[in-house]
Structure 1
Amino acid sequence: MSTEINDLDIHKILTLLPHRYPFLLVDRVLELQPHKRIKALKNVSINEPYFTGHFPKRPVMPGVLVLESLAQAAALLTFSEEPHDPASTQYLFVGIDDARFKRVVEPGDQLILTVSFKRHMRGVWKFIAHADVEGVVAAQATLMCTVRHADASGR
């Protein structure tokens, strides 16, 4: 029987993911049901480095980074199920299906990242994911990811 975990803060996230500034795109886990679902938060700040060039007069979070934030939430869900050592583990995208972008994400927005486990087969995890802003879907996709363990040479 799985138990729900509420409110994983940034300090715990840093122990689970290898990402660091400026590429860590999950600020807090609000809900986590191991083997089922995760709900996480990404605060979108004007101080994000990508806003300098995307776009100078009307900053918009790149869609690929919205998908990356969903993938990082999926990694946290996966690692709630599979013990790992972040120093010797890589979590990799292997596919994105049915990606749709429905709303721009701008500085000041709060992305609510919801990722649900669909299946795990032959080392590939499949998830249904969506990112919402103020209850409106900003992006959605089906994500496929895998875990790779580094060999002794670090590859």
Structure 2
Amino acid sequence: MESPIKFEEVDIATILKTLPHRYPFLLIDRVINIRADHSGIGVKNVTINEPAFQGHFPERPVYPGVLMIEGMAQTAGVIGITSVEGTEKPRAVYFLTIDKCKFRKPVMPGDIVEYHMRSIGRRKTMWWFHGDAKVNGATVAEADVGAMLTD
């Protein structure tokens, strides 16, 4: 049975207050359905205006897989930080590990990527999440990511 939803939606204004990332490296637009069991879904609207498409690839633009992994990590960061109780929120999230990474299908301009993240472990300030990146319900990438929350 799933845990109850803690935050229905974390919008871009809240993400900007939560993460230090900014354009062109803020790679999520919102996070929805954050649950008390430390899971949630990050949403990225991929447009042809993404800076990466200037070189990846001009004739057939494909959203880079490494940016999807970073989007997973940013989603996990929002979930982790918003899950911390009290007023002393962590000020930074450092990406530590990527494991079991697989790219399954290309992501193109116009796609909406959903980063389905769930916590798979936690020790003190370190968190590990499993992520499935999906477009129209089909998995396009997956990975386990680890991060550390700091003051």
TM-score under structure 1 length normalisation? 0.88
Q: Which residue does 1:84 correspond to in 2?
A: 89
2:52 partner amino acid: Y
| Structure 1 gaps, min length 5 | 150-155
Q: Give the Å deviation of 1:2.
A: 6.1
Mean Cα displacement is larger for which, 2-11 or 114-123?
2-11
For the residue of structure 1 that corresponds to 2:77, the secondary structure is helix
8 Å CA contact 1:34–1:77 kept in 2: the answer is no
2:62 partner amino acid: V
Q: Which residue does 1:129 correspond to in 2?
A: 131
Question: Where do 4+ consecutive residues of structure 1 move more than 6 Å?
Answer: none
CA offset digits 1:98-147 (Å, max 9, x no partner): 00000101110000111001111153211111110011101001111112
CA offset digits 1:17-53 (Å, max 9, x no partner): 1111111111012211134211121000100111000
Which residue of the other structure, out of 54, 57, 60, is the alignment partner of 2:59?
A: 57
> What aligned pairs does 1:64-75 form with structure 2 within 5 A after superposition?
64-75=66-77
1:6 partner amino acid: E
Q: Give the Å deviation of 1:4.
A: 2.6
How many residues matched?
146
8 Å CA contact 2:125–2:150 kept in 1: the answer is no
2:89 partner amino acid: H
| Structure 2 gaps, min length 5 | none
Question: What is the aligned-residue identity percentage?
Answer: 37
- Relative to structure 1, is the Cα distance of residues 20 and 91 closer, same or farther in structure 2, using a 3 angstrom cutoff? same
